[in-house]
C-alpha cells in the first residue's frame, strides 16, 4: 500500500495534502486556504447556506426576536429590582431561546453573538429601570446612570452572555 496520493485536478502531481472538507488530494497549485483550513476550489466557493452559515433573513429575524425578548425581560427584571447573576442567566437563556427559534433553529456564531449582545442590552435596561426606581424614590432622578455600579453589573452581564450561549449547546 502506497502513501503517495496524486492531485485530484492534476493526476501527474504527487501530494500529501487534501481538502479538509471533501478529502480530495490537492497539489500546491490547487490548495485554497479558507477560514477553517485547506479547501479545494469547489469547497471554498460554497454559498453561505451550503457552508452552514445563517442567511441575512435569519439574522434579521434572530436580532428582532432577541432584542424584543431582551426588552421585555429587562423591563420585568428592572421593575421588580432583580438584577443579579441568576436573573442574568435567565435573561440570557430567554434571549438565546428567542434568537434560536426566530432564526429557524440556526446555531451560526453570528446568531449566538446577537443573542449575547441582546442579552447585555436587556440587562442594561433592567439596571436602568431598577436605578430609576431607586432614584425616583430618593428624588435623584437626574443621577440614574450613576447608580449602576460596574462591580454589581459585571457578574450579571457575564451570566447573561453565558445564559445566551448555553441555549445553543443543546
| Distance of alpha carbon 70 from alpha carbon 123, whole angstroms | 7
DSSP string, 128-162: HHHHHHHHHHHT-GGGTGGG--HHHHHHHHHHHHH
Helix (H, G, I), strand (E, B) or coil at 50: coil
Using the Cα atoms of residue 136, residue 125, residue 151 and residue 92 in order, give the sign of their dihedral.
positive
Q: Are 40 and 32 in contact (CB under 8 A)?
A: yes
Helix (H, G, I), strand (E, B) or coil at 69: helix
pLDDT per residue, tens digit, the chain (170 aa), is 456 889 999 999 999 999 998 999 999 999 998 777 899 988 887 666 666 778 899 999 999 999 999 999 999 998 887 788 998 999 999 999 999 999 999 888 899 999 999 999 999 898 888 877 665 555 554 555 545 677 778 899 999 999 999 988 87
Pairing of strands 14-15, 17-18: unpaired
Give Cα 98 to chain centroid, integer Å.
12
Amino acid at each position: 500500500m502506497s502513501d503517495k496520493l496524486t492531485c485530484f485536478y492534476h493526476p501527474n502531481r504527487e501530494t500529501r495534502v487534501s481538502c479538509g472538507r471533501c478529502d480530495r488530494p490537492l497539489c500546491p497549485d490547487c490548495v485554497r486556504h479558507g477560514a477553517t483550513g485547506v479547501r479545494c476550489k469547489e469547497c471554498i466557493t460554497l454559498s453561505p447556506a451550503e457552508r452552514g452559515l445563517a442567511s441575512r433573513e435569519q439574522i434579521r429575524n434572530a436580532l428582532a426576536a432577541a432584542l424584543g425578548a431582551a426588552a421585555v425581560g429587562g423591563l420585568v427584571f428592572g421593575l421588580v429590582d432583580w438584577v443579579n447573576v441568576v436573573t442574568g442567566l435567565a435573561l440570557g437563556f430567554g434571549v438565546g431561546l428567542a434568537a434560536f427559534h426566530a432564526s429557524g433553529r440556526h446555531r451560526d456564531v453570528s446568531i449566538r453573538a446577537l443573542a449575547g449582545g441582546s442579552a447585555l442590552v436587556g440587562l442594561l435596561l433592567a439596571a436602568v429601570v431598577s436605578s430609576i426606581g431607586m432614584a425616583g424614590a430618593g428624588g435623584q432622578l437626574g443621577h440614574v446612570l450613576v447608580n449602576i455600579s460596574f462591580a454589581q453589573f459585571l457578574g450579571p452581564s457575564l451570566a447573561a452572555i453565558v445564559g445566551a450561549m448555553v441555549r445553543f449547546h443543546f
